[in-house]
Structure formats: structure tokens, C-alpha cells
Amino acid sequence: MTEMSYLLSRLALAAILSLGVPIAVHAQELPYDDVADEDGSASATAPGSKTAHAPRVAITPYIEASQVLLAQLSPNSDAVTYSVLAGGVDANIAGRNNQGAVSVRYERRFGWGHNNVDSDMLSGLARFQTAIVPHALNFEVGALAARTAIQNNGSTASGIDFGDSVTQIYSAYAGPTLATRSGDLFVNGHYYFGYTKVDTPHALALAPGQNPVDVFDSSTVHNAEFHVGTKAGEPLPVGVGAGVGYNREEVSNLDQRVEDFHARGDVAVPVSNTVQLVGGVGWEKVKVSSRDALRDAITGLPVIGPNGRYVTDNSSPRLIAFESEGLIWDAGVMWRPSRRTSLEAHIARRYGWTSYYGNLAYAPDARTSVNVSVYDSLGSMGGMLNHALASLPTQFDAVRNPLTGDIGGCVAGQGALQPGQSTCLVGALGAVRSSVFRGRGVMANIGFKGGRFTYGLAAGYDRRRFIAPPGSVLGITNLTIDENWWVAAFVSSRIDSKSTVGANLWANWYQSGDALAGNSSGVGATASYNRSISSRLSATAAVGVAGVSREAVEDLWTARALAGVRYSF
């Protein structure tokens, strides 16, 4: 296990022990008086769900052994067999003051025959919340470890976990959130620190004449918000408020930096018992900057380090890629006809451009949830992934690929979602280019969890317009646009008291702004059968196929079959 893998495994263990609380990490969404309940505490229940009173704890450690046949179908035809030994833990904790879920797994692969496929993998997902002071001060922590393959255009491909372009992605964040009330005044705020790391792939299959893709390395994020306000009718006929926010993101590649400070006032005007108009105006200062790459003294070409990334020239001046200062505003409508339905739609002027964002949360019953989110933000892959982690529900079951053991693009949420929540990370994990970007898109998902039947379906569109200083080594990406359409689905059904079947399906279509890199599309599907042998021992059989079709380089397709057993403690 690498040093970073060991560190992340310790962080996941710490997440289990510490527990945390969800914070509203919405890049464009600004707080209004509805962010607090009547008692001033942040809402901890989804539309249509009930607050958990009796604590419920389920922790299941396990060990696993399996045998896998891997067949490469393209570009070459070959087959290898390998054995897997794995250990992990799945846990869910639900109570009045503590809620969370974790799924962590480490596996070691041992190759057979002349082809060496020995490797190890750490994968996991955690989201926890705890009330330090009930109805006032909370804390949240979340973490992710995933394995994916990086393509020549900077996109990623799920289900392909062998080869030089395979990498591990780690992300984590933690911080407190405040939601309380003093008389008629509601006080809300949060701070969180986020970190994201992409391990170095050994090589990328670049097309002839294509510029190297500078793969994202690591980033840190500091995000803080503070807001005070009143509800409509308490004491004024309209709700009023004021707030400030600060976001700073540091990307290690070429010392990129995003810095944003804003202050604003807002108002909420009731139209009816279920509809209110909201708006606000304020001031904002945003700056995106970086340094240039170190140049070879003889050729003048940028120097690429042993990790395949550009070497930063720390003596070079900081270059401004984007800067905006001045008036910002926001206007929208909020519709909440019941606890099961919530809709927000906004138009805003921020970052120097007009944007649209909002969300829909609908829970027709306690087992079904529908969520649609439209977003517009400024940042990097690390900041977007931290936000996606914070948007996950605190109660979920991890949806793993039965053949690779890796976390899939989505989770199975337990119960209805709150406004702004999502069950998928696919959009954030879609590409690993290092450049800062303006990210816009939409994501929709529906989930159902019943006694014998569980399914989830999600689809989305993500558009990234990259921002880099002209004349720098990343200047060639400035204003280029990458687009990613994706879909993910899973289903599981209990046949009888001892048997279940399941299936996963995923696909994405990635269009690169770099004509030489070309477009790509990936698709994969798995089917599995699980049989309980005893109360602790179970057996699994699974088959699947995954591949990526690429314009600039050869296609890559693989198929697998697995048979294994698991012992749960």
C-alpha cells in the first residue's frame, strides 16, 4: 500500500470515530431565511421523512476471496487470471444527533501466469454528521477513495482498472456549521477545509502531435459563509438578511489560485403560503491566477517532471487568468407546497456573468426520492469534488462494481433527499485536467429502496470552460470547452430469503475542446448473483464488460467473470 493509501485508510477510520454534519456547500446558492427551521436549527430531515429518534447502528466488517478471469478484447486479444484477497467495512449510523455512513475496502490482487497483474486498491466513501451542541453547532466530515483510468483527452473511464493510465483519486473535507436563533434573528454559518489528490499515472496514450494533458495533482479549499436574517412575519412582513462569504482554492499544478470574497443583503417576499420571491444584491471580488512552467534553458520548452506534470517556475511572476470586481445580484422563486416537494429557481449575476441555478426535491413516498440540480460555479476539479461529497446524503448504501470492488458513480440513498442533495459523483469525476474552469451543468436522479427491490437512475450534463493566463503553458486551454454527458443506473432484487441479483450500467460521452485529443465515449455493464450460505458466509458470481471508444487512439475493451466468497463478522 502506498503512503497516500495508508493515510486515506487512516482518515476513513477517523471518519468513523468522529462523525460530522451536513453543511450547505452550494457554489452559487446564497442563503435566505428558509435555511433554518422554526427553532433555528438546520433541517435534518428530508421532505416526507421522519426524524430519527432511536439510534440505529449497523457495522459489518468482512473479508473476501475471489478468482477473476480478465479478457482484453481490444486493442489486443489476451486473457489473464488473478486472485483477490480483500477486507473492508460497511456501516450506517442513524440517530437524533449522529448520522452517517461509510464503505471502505482494501484489496490485493495476485496475478497468475506470465502476465503480471499484481496490484492493490483502496476504495471507499464516508459521510458523517454529529451535533456538538444540539440545534446549534454541528460538525461534518466526508472522504472518498476511487480508482479510474485517465484517457488521452483528460477524461476518465470507469471499470478499467489495469494499465499505465490507471490512477487513484482521494478527496476529503471537514468543518463545523452553525445554525441557531436569537429572538427573531436566525444565525447560520459554516467553515470547511477540503483536500483532493490524484495519484500520478505512469503514462497517457497521447495522439501524435497532441500537447501533453496536465493531469490534476492536488488542491486545498477553504470555504466560509456567515449569514444573519429574519423570517417573513417575524417581525417584518418580509424576511431580510445579510451575509459574507470567502472561498480560496489552491491547486498545486502551476500554483493556480482561486480567491473569492463577497458580501450581500437579501430579502424574501411571501406571495402565498407556499411561494415566496427571493432576491439580493451585494459586492464581490474574484481573482484567478497562476505561475508559468519552468522552461528548458536550451530549447525553451516547458519542463515536465517525473510525475508527468509541468514543473512550476516558482520565480516567475503570478499571472492573472481572470478577475472580476463589482456588483452582484440574485433573484428567484421558492415553492414548497408540502414537506415532500421543494423547488427553487434563480437567475444571478456573479463572477462577471449571468447564470442560472436551482434544484427540485420530490418525495412521493418514504421510499422514493427525485432530485434535479442545476449548477454554475468557478473552481477546479478538487473544489467540485469536495462539493459533490458534501451534497451526498448521510444515509446511503455504497453501489460497488462487483468485478472490480470499486465505488460506482452513484450510491443508493436511504430515504428521500433534501434540496440540493445528490446521490452521484459522476460529474465531478468525469475529467482530471488541472486547469481552473467555470463549471455549469444539470444532474437528475431518482431512487427507490423497498423491502425486496432497490433501484437508482441518474443522468447529467457537465460543461467546463477552462480559464488560464494567455501566453502561459496552460494558455492553450484558455476558453476551450469540454462537455460530458453521462448516465448511471443500478438495480437489485431479492429472489428469496437467501438469494439476490443485481445489475449496474454506466455510460458517458465526452467531447474535448482540444481537436487533437478527440472525443471519447465509455460504457460498462455488470450482472451479479449473491447467495447466502450461512448467517455470515455468502458466495457471489458476476460477469461484466467495460470499454472506451476513442477518436485519437485505439479503443480499449475488457470483459470479466468472477466467483468469490465473503465472510462477514
- Tell me the per-residue pLDDT of 271-294, one tens digit each, with 9 for 90 and over: 999 999 999 999 999 999 999 999
C-alpha cell at 466: 477552462
> Does position 74 have pLDDT exceeding 50, yes or no?
yes
Predicted local distance difference test score (pLDDT) of residue 212: 78
Task: Render pLDDT for 499-513 as a digit per residue (tens, 0 to 9).
Answer: 999 999 999 999 998
Strands (DSSP E) found in 351-435: 353-365, 368-379, 396-400, 407-413
The Cα–Cα gap between 74 and 61 comes to 37
Instruction: Indicate the pLDDT class of residue 1, thresholds 50, 70 and 90.
Output: very low
C-alpha span between 79 and 234 (Å, rounded)? 70
Question: What pLDDT does 114 receive?
Answer: 66
Could you write out the three-class secondary structure of 191-229?
EEEEEEEECCCCCCCCCCCCCCCCECCEEEEEEEEEEEE
The band of 356, judged by pLDDT with boundaries at 50, 70 and 90, is very high
What are the tens digits of pLDDT across the range 401-459? 999 999 877 888 776 677 777 788 888 899 999 999 999 999 999 988 887 888 999 99
Please say whether the beta carbons of 482 and 433 come within 8 A: yes
Q: Which domains does the chain have, with CATH numbers?
A: 3-568 (2.40.170)
pLDDT at 3: 44
pLDDT of residue 415: 67
Res. 29: pLDDT tops 90:
no
Residue with cell 505512469: 202
| CA 266 remoteness from chain centre | 29
The answer to whether the CB of 315 falls within 8 A of the CB of 295 is no
Residues 137-172: tens digit of each pLDDT:
999 999 999 999 898 888 998 888 877 788 999 999
- Residue 383: DSSP 8-state: H
In 134-165, at which residue ranges do the beta strands (DSSP E only) sit? 137-150, 156-157
Determine which of 41-50, 310-319, 553-562 has the lowest per-residue pLDDT on average. Answer: 41-50
Please choose, from the candidates 431, 358, 355, 268, the residue with its C-alpha nearest in 3D space to the C-alpha of residue 26: 358
pTM of the model: 0.87
pLDDT in tens, 174-184: 999 999 999 89
Tell me the average pLDDT across 264-275: 95
Q: What percent of the chain has pLDDT over 70?
A: 89
* Residue range 338-353, pLDDT digits in tens: 989 999 999 999 998 9
Mean pLDDT of 462-491: 93
- The mean per-residue pLDDT over the stretch 549-563 comes to 91
C-alpha cell at 58: 449497523
What pLDDT score does 54 carry? 54
Name the grid cell of 346: 434563480
Query: Which amino acid, residue 370?
Result: V
DSSP state of 296: -
Average pLDDT over residues 508-536: 92
Which cell numbers hold the place of 239? 424576511
CA-to-CA separations, 346 to 362, 370, 375, 387, 567, in angstroms, rounded: 18, 20, 10, 19, 50
| CA dist., res. 93 & res. 56, Å (int) | 6
Name the nearest CA neighbour of 525 among 554, 490, 549: 490
**Residues whose CB is less than 8 angstroms from the CB of residue 116 and which lie 6 or more positions away in sequence, other chains included:** none
Q: Residue 424: what pLDDT? A: 85
Segment 251-260 shows an average pLDDT of: 96
What three-state secondary structure class fits 446? strand
Give the model's confidence band at 6: pLDDT under 50 very low, under 70 low, under 90 confident, else very high. very low
**What was the pLDDT predicted at 257?**
97
pLDDT at 226: 97
DSSP secondary structure string for all residues of 18-66: H--------SS----GGGS-TTSPPP-S-TT-----S-EEEEEEEEEEE
Predicted confidence (pLDDT) per residue in 201-229, tens digit: 767 777 777 777 889 999 999 999 999 99
pLDDT above 80 for 33: no
Instruction: Find the farthest-apart pair of alpha carbons in the chain and give their distance in angstroms, rounded.
Output: 77
Can you name the residues that pair with 396 across neighbouring β-strands? 413
Per-residue pLDDT at 124 exceeds 90: yes
Whole-number pLDDT of residue 111? 86
The answer to whether the CB of 528 falls within 8 A of the CB of 540 is yes
- The average pLDDT across 29-42 equals 36
Please give the backbone phi and psi of residue 205, each rounded to the nearest 5 degrees, phi first. Answer: -80, 85
Would you call 74 helix, strand, or coil by DSSP? strand
pLDDT at 468: 94
For residue 244, the Cα-to-chain-centroid distance in whole angstroms is 25
- The answer, yes or no, to whether residue 568 has pLDDT greater than 90, is yes
State the Cα–Cα distance between residues 334 and 351, nearest whole angstrom: 23
So what's the pLDDT on residue 55? 66
Q: Burial level of 475, CB count in 10 A (0-12/13-18/19+)?
A: middle
What pLDDT score was predicted for residue 516?
80
> 365-368: which pairs have CB atoms within 8 A and are 24 or more residues apart?
365/48, 366/48, 366/49, 366/50, 366/415, 366/416, 367/415, 367/448, 367/449, 367/450, 368/416, 368/446, 368/447, 368/448
Please tell me the predicted confidence (pLDDT) of residue 115.
Answer: 63
> 297 Cβ partners below 8 Å, 6+ apart?
none
- Determine the pLDDT at residue 417: 72
CA distance linking residue 239 with residue 413, whole number of Å: 33
d(CA 558, CA 404): 12
Q: Which amino acid is at 500?
A: T
Distance, CA of 451 to CA of 269 (rounded, Å): 43
Cell 482484453: give the residue. 72
Given this model, what pLDDT does residue 35 score? 31
In terms of Cα–Cα distance, which of 416, 419, 411 is closest to 357? 419
Local confidence band at 116 (pLDDT 50, 70, 90 cut-offs): low
Give the chain's mean pLDDT.
86
Provide the percentage of residues in the chain whose pLDDT is more than 90.
63
Question: Does residue 37 register a pLDDT over 50?
Answer: no
pLDDT at 18 exceeding the cut of 50: no
